[in-house]
Chain A
Amino acid sequence: MADLAQHNVSGAHAGETRRDFLILTATAIGAVGVAATIWPFIDSLNPARDTLALSTTEVDLAPVQVGQRLTVAWRGKPVFIDHRTPEEIKAAQDVNVADLRDPQPDSARVKKPEWLVLIGVCTHLGCIPLGQKAGDPRGPYGGWFCPCHGSIYDTSGRIRQGPAPLNLFLPPYEFTHDTTIKIG
């Protein structure tokens, strides 16, 4: 009996709770609807299917001499291919990995030690480092030098000095023959 009495007294209150519930659920459903409507607009800005279609680039390495560097385009980005000299390979392997900003041994960055394949985009703000052409500055580690903000990479494409936080990225690639690679 006491229960029932209490119920009656709080009758008005119960009505308001019901209204609160309706407002809350209606708002929540509305918010979901708005989000679902906005999503197609946002998603339309993502890379389209033709852009996503994975393109591959085949490169014949045979004409590249020891010590020569070659730039090829893959997905609109430059890919650096470096036919490294024995000294460059040694310099890359002799580094104390623990001292590096982005520690990675040289062996994890190449499939064959004489061929270094990198995405030639500075990991700082996306400039293209110098070092591919004969007269370019290569920085004190003999690798690459980014002119925008002074990042310096070594002969394994690892960051050694300057503002870039990471080593130059490696593209997916495989050797289709002894002297041919397929990037992508």
Chain B
Amino acid sequence: MAQTRLSATNRIIRWIDYRLPFVAMLQHELYEYPTPRNLSYWWNFGSLSGIMLVVMIVTGVFLAMQYTPHADLAFDSVERIMRDVDYGWMLRYAHMNGASMFFALLYIHMFRGLYYGSYKQPRELLWILGVIILILAIMTAFMGYVLPWGQMSYWAATVITNLFSAIPLIGQNIVTFLWGGFTVGNPTLNRFYALHYLLPFVILAVVLLHLIALHRFGSNNPLGIEMKGPQDTLPFHPYFTIKDLFGLAVFLLIYSFFVFYAPNFLGSSDNYIPANPMQTPNHIVPEWYLLPYYAILRSVPNKLLGVIMAFGSIFLLFIVPWLDSSPVRSARFRPVYKWVFWLLVIDVIALGWVGANPPEGLVVAVGQIATLYYFVHFLILFPVIGKLERPKPLPASIATAVLQGGSGARLGGAGAPLAKS
């Protein structure tokens, strides 16, 4: 690489690097790191999620300094953060809405992966680590939601832990074990608090593994073909640090809008009522980012099967790399999958709508169809389309596609003969 290494110019850094090659590693992974030159803004969402995780940990640690994890005191301590602690309202709103933002980023990041086939050989483990991050994030968000000990906190904890009562024979014992009592109570709140503090650091560790796996083969790209040499790449810095920073600025505008102008838009007002174990709110719904799973749970009339399918909808993602039989990564070159992909997007949004509404009439019907489609999409369409579809020809390399000046899609199709001239 043409750039001068920091370690070559600074004596102290050179001294440290000789013994602990940390700066050299950063230099290698964040500076020189060869990145496909054609990455679009859809490739911003990984780094944005990472930054959001840090924001969540920082706001969370400061909130923990004010919060009291006790069933009798938790609700009031959160109100105290909101009313009496300097900037407490901002920390809490940033944390609360930050969870929503984190999931929005994760979901866009995952849909991008599905569209461009980023999970395919040799990036299967990269994808699997991502699914593990999603599962850990769901657990963390759920336990965090319980901490304010409002009505929604309490009943979300009750309903979600009760999912395990569907397990035959030992279900009820497992639920009692999870609660540490006969109902959701103080022992439950305490252990959720401990785990809510622990899990983000576990996520951080898995993110590190995710990055190691990513840097093994580098990013996928909109063309879905591998980098074949220096002509296909740009160094990560400054080209993609700048691109990521610009994306970050746009993202922070959206995030700030929620934090400062609509902090409770994504939440439920019922959670500002202290937990009452004697009364369930009339309409309980999870946070928006869990609505599709909730819709699947409710759409299946059998309790155990509903629980299995709700969990299955996530665990299914683990085997996606092996369900998709197409050797072509990017949907740009897959004339059928390109459209079917959007059916999944619509399906998941439909499930979200179903989960948000009381299960009556049309909602039930849409829920059952959308649930069925979700599984058909992955278990049937993924393997079948890959076999039947005739993909368009792939460009020879990223560089040739980019230097033609057109999009890879045009070049891969009718424009291909131009490549000869």
B-binding residues in A (CB < 8 A): 45-48, 51, 71, 73, 75-78, 124-128, 130, 146-150, 163-165
Contacts and interface: CB of A to CB of B under 8 A. Distances in A.
27 contacts: A45-B180, A47-B176, A47-B180, A47-B181, A48-B180, A48-B187, A71-B278, A76-B181, A77-B182, A77-B183, A77-B277, A78-B277, A78-B278, A125-B159, A125-B162, A125-B165, A127-B158, A127-B280, A147-B280, A147-B281, A148-B280, A148-B284, A163-B298, A163-B301, A163-B302, A163-B303, A165-B304
A46 B159 contact: no
B279 interface: yes
A126 B303 contact: no
Contacts of A75: 182-183
Nearest to A74: B182
B177 interface: yes
A2 B180 CA distance: 67
Given A47-B180, A128-B280, A76 B303 contact: no
B351 to A, nearest CB: 16
A51 B181 contact: yes
Contacts of B278: 71, 73, 78, 128
A136 B10 CA distance: 76
A76 B306 CA distance: 28
B163 interface: yes
B187 A51 contact: yes
A60 to B, nearest CB: 19
A126 B180 contact: no
Contacts of A76: 181-183, 185, 277
B279 A128 contact: yes
Given A48-B180, A147-B280, A147-B283, 18 more contacts: A47-B179, A51-B187, A71-B278, A76-B182, A76-B185, A125-B159, A125-B163, A126-B158, A127-B155, A127-B159, A128-B280, A130-B282, A147-B282, A147-B284, A148-B159, A148-B284, A163-B298, A163-B306
Contacts of A147: 280-284
A51 B302 CA distance: 32
Interface string B358-389: 01100000000000000000000000000000
Contact of A149 (B178, B191, B298, B304): B298
B277 to A, nearest CB: 6
Nearest to B285: A148
Nearest to A148: B284
B271 to A, nearest CB: 16
A146 B281 CA distance: 10
Nearest to B157: A126
Interface string B146-168: 00000000010011011101000
Contacts of B302: 163
Best-surrounded residue of A45, A78, A148, A163 (most CB of chain B within 10 A): A148
Interface string B166-203: 00000000001111111101010001000000000000
B301 A51 contact: no
A130 to B, nearest CB: 8
Nearest to A137: B282
B405 to A, nearest CB: 56
Nearest to B298: A149
A135 B284 CA distance: 20
A127 B284 contact: yes
Contacts of A77: 182-183, 277
A150 B359 contact: yes
Contacts of B158: 125-127
A46 B180 contact: yes
A130 B278 CA distance: 11
Closest 4 CB pairs of A and B: A126-B162, A125-B162, A76-B183, A127-B280
Contacts of A150: 359-360
Nearest to B182: A75
Best-surrounded residue of B277, B280, B306 (most CB of chain A within 10 A): B280
Interface in B263-315: 277-284, 298, 301-304, 306
A124 B303 contact: yes
Nearest to B364: A150
Contacts of B282: 130, 147
Contacts of B301: 163
A17 to B, nearest CB: 38
